[in-house]
Structure 1
Amino acid sequence: MKINPFLFIAILSFSLFSCSNDGLNGDVRISDTAYLFATTNSGEIRRFNINNGKKFIFKTSSSNATGIVYRENGDEVTIVSKSSNQLQTYTNMERFAEQQNVSIQPSLFGSSNLQNPVDLAQKDDFYVVSDNTDADGNPATIDSKFYIYQRNGDTYILRNILNTNLKVGSIIFIDNDLYVASQNTDKIAKFPNFVTSYVNNPWGFPTKTVSIDGVTAISALEFKDGIMFIGDRGTVESDSDGAIQVVRKFLDKFNSVENLGKIAFGDQKRLAGNNTLLGNPVDIEYNPDYNAVFVAESLNGGGRIIAFNNADAIEGNFAPDLKYSVPGVTSIFFYTK
């Protein structure tokens, strides 16, 4: 990482994102490449260049997408197409560097197995999709599925489907373990060594589940530098009662709580209130070098991407340092080098 000599130009460029905010603050470390990718419920991929404020809209073959990861190798973006019920990967994105609104087609994709996909997590060549659909044929029971794909050359092979006894929501790998938000609850479940441990059996269960005190319904998870950022969607009807709770030394706290126990509110920081513009934060990305947290807010203002500085310590009712209207935003991914 290095300081960009055009720092003040970069700051001014944020006026392209929001005429009311100055963007990220003056002590932000700018890297040579800093892209924020987003998916929308219209199937678009949007890319924002954080250094110069340029925005790109890629119209994909999907009419609805959620979940996104970017890999530098191949300059590729992988999304979950909800309209085609499959993984889709779009490669060599930089070839459209001078085209800010272009239609693109996937270079590789998986079979159309998915039913009600929610989120996407990647571990090496494995791609895991949480799918909130009925697993046992009885709608009265609480259960859902994971679809585990393995990248093999120019396609995705469905290695196995894993049924589980919770409604799966946001998912994230921490090392080899998969942490899962139990949808519509305050609970996070841990599936250890997920890729290797859940291969042969049709059903798999978490080894530990912990509640997050103060949360109404977890809508997003993000973990970096030992910090877990937890999105709270609040009540379904409200576009202003969302929140982000920040848990430093998350693994220590998660491990120290007994199964079905709770991480106390006093061990967290909470960002909430009308000034935050948080109503339903559906995805979160944190970058330690920027010390900024980016949020896909799907409800407030019709859908926005917002960002906050000093993310590891922020709490209270503060306005975002960046905001940009993205109607129907469903997921985001931040890439920098």
Structure 2
Amino acid sequence: MKRLNLIKSLALLALINLAFTSCSDDDSTGMDASLSTYLFASNNSDGNVTTYNVSSISNVTSKTLITPSTAADGIYYDKNNDVVVQASRSNFSLEGYSNVALSMAGSSISVGVSGSTDMTSPRELAVNGNFYVVVDNSDPDGDTNTPDGRLFIYSKSGNSFTLRNVITTDFKLWGITFDGEDLYAIVDTTNQLAVYTNFLSNMADATLSASKTIVVEGIVRTHGLTYDAMSDTMVLTDIASAMNGQDDGGFHIIEGFTSKFNNTANGGTLALSQQTRVAGSSTLLGNPVDVAYDSATKTVFIAEAGNGGGRILAFNNIGSGGNIAPVVNNDLASASSVFLSKY
């Protein structure tokens, strides 16, 4: 029986590697670089899922799967169950699509894990175990003079997402990412980064202030972020002027992030000298809205929403920063979110 199960497992793995001709996972840190690496991307143009096989950065292949959504943002891949989850901006809910790895390019995928329609303007998605946290960047109180946002916390069980509670924040939101039990959040329209410690311990609807907020020097307006625990690296994107979607964007790499963040006082500034900035006309960065990072190859993947109408970009020559060209440049209209996975 054990031998039969082993054969079945090897066969499934072979089918998955054969079926993918496509694209990544923020939570894949520390994994063997020889494993297959895929980047999953969502967009606000047609809501479909595009996957990229980025195992060889010089030979990236892709496939697109058709979803019921017409616009989508935050994306996550559950490799244990072969399910892609998107925050649907057209259906205002979380949607999980099953059997993604075995689906052929151009095929339609249906919702296998569904949730209630609760949100108004869903954006980024962060996952911790069976908890799925979605940013809603609409204005909860309807007063533009009081910046606020909401974090919808869902629990996943079987084929359902159930809304557990809603946290209202005292600043506008965009990107979020977990580091253990702590949730880092972008303070939208600013160059600030906030953290909520032990975030999921807040189990009731409430208005919550951040545990700590810092200024990130060199950024004009940050949007996307990702944290890699194994290398202790934080990557933040800078969309700069919202009016210029073509060439004023960039991203910052902060190595040794934990000590740098902890050593910056609440309300203080993390100096540009402690970061590496990539920006300039050669980068094709105008409106980089989301980011994923592969610490094994030191490659940064960007969902670029503005330049050329939308692109998926990758940079692996980031050591000194500066005005560097991407090593991957694939068109994706209104690209909105990326997620990296290895298996």
TM-score range, shorter chain: 0.7 to 0.9
Q: 2:126 aligns with which of 103, 121, 125?
A: 121
Structure 2 segments unaligned to the other structure (5+ residues): 1-20, 24-31
**Structure 1 equivalent of residue 331 of structure 2:** 325
Equivalent-residue separation in structure 1 for 2:273 and 2:36 (angstroms): 37
- The normalised TM-score by structure 1 is 0.88
> For residue 46 of structure 1, what is the amino acid of its counterpart?
T
Alpha carbons 2:100, 2:109 under 8 Å: kept = no
> For residue 263 of structure 2, what is the amino acid of its counterpart?
S
Instruction: Give yes or no for the alignment of 1:38 onto 2:38.
Output: no
**Structure 1 equivalent of residue 283 of structure 2:** 276
The size of the alignment, in residue pairs, is 308
Alpha carbons 1:222, 1:229 under 8 Å: kept = yes
**Structure 2 equivalent of residue 7 of structure 1:** none
Instruction: Give yes or no for the alignment of 1:233 onto 2:239.
Output: yes
Equivalent-residue separation in structure 2 for 1:201 and 1:35 (angstroms): 36
Alpha carbons 2:175, 2:223 under 8 Å: kept = yes
**Structure 2 equivalent of residue 10 of structure 1:** none
| Aligned counterparts, 1:122-201, within 5 A | 122-196=127-201, 198-201=202-205
Instruction: Give yes or no for the alignment of 1:261 onto 2:268.
Output: yes
Equivalent-residue separation in structure 2 for 1:149 and 1:207 (angstroms): 22
Q: 2:53 aligns with which of 49, 56, 81?
A: 49
Q: 1:223 aligns with which of 207, 223, 227?
A: 227
Q: 2:310 aligns with which of 303, 306, 310?
A: 303
Q: Report SS of the residue matched to 2:218.
A: coil
Alpha carbons 2:166, 2:204 under 8 Å: kept = no
Q: Report SS of the residue matched to 1:113.
A: coil
**Structure 1 equivalent of residue 208 of structure 2:** 204
Alpha carbons 1:31, 1:336 under 8 Å: kept = no
Alpha carbons 1:218, 1:232 under 8 Å: kept = yes
Deviations 1:221-265 (A, max 9, x none): 011121111100011122100011111111111111111111011
Equivalent-residue separation in structure 2 for 1:257 and 1:206 (angstroms): 15
Identical aligned residues as a percent: 34
> For residue 272 of structure 1, what is the amino acid of its counterpart?
A
Instruction: Give yes or no for the alignment of 1:315 onto 2:321.
Output: yes
**Structure 2 equivalent of residue 8 of structure 1:** none
Cα drift, residue 201 of structure 1: 4.7
Q: Report SS of the residue matched to 1:275.
A: helix
Q: Report SS of the residue matched to 2:206.
A: coil
- The normalised TM-score by structure 2 is 0.86
Cα drift, residue 144 of structure 1: 1.1
Equivalent-residue separation in structure 1 for 2:197 and 2:313 (angstroms): 32
Question: Using a 3 Å threshold, how does the CA distance of structure 1 residues 326 and 187 change in structure 2: closer, same or farther?
Answer: same
Higher mean displacement: 181-190 or 135-144: 135-144
Q: Report SS of the residue matched to 2:107.
A: strand
Q: Report SS of the residue matched to 2:252.
A: strand
Report the RMSD for the aligned CA atoms in angstroms.
1.7
Cα drift, residue 56 of structure 1: 1.0
**Structure 1 equivalent of residue 7 of structure 2:** none
Instruction: Give yes or no for the alignment of 1:213 onto 2:217.
Output: yes
Deviations 1:143-179 (A, max 9, x none): 1111000012210110001111000110000111000
Instruction: Give yes or no for the alignment of 1:76 onto 2:83.
Output: yes
> For residue 132 of structure 1, what is the amino acid of its counterpart?
N
Structure 1 segments unaligned to the other structure (5+ residues): 1-13, 18-28
**Structure 2 equivalent of residue 26 of structure 1:** none
Q: Report SS of the residue matched to 2:38.
A: strand
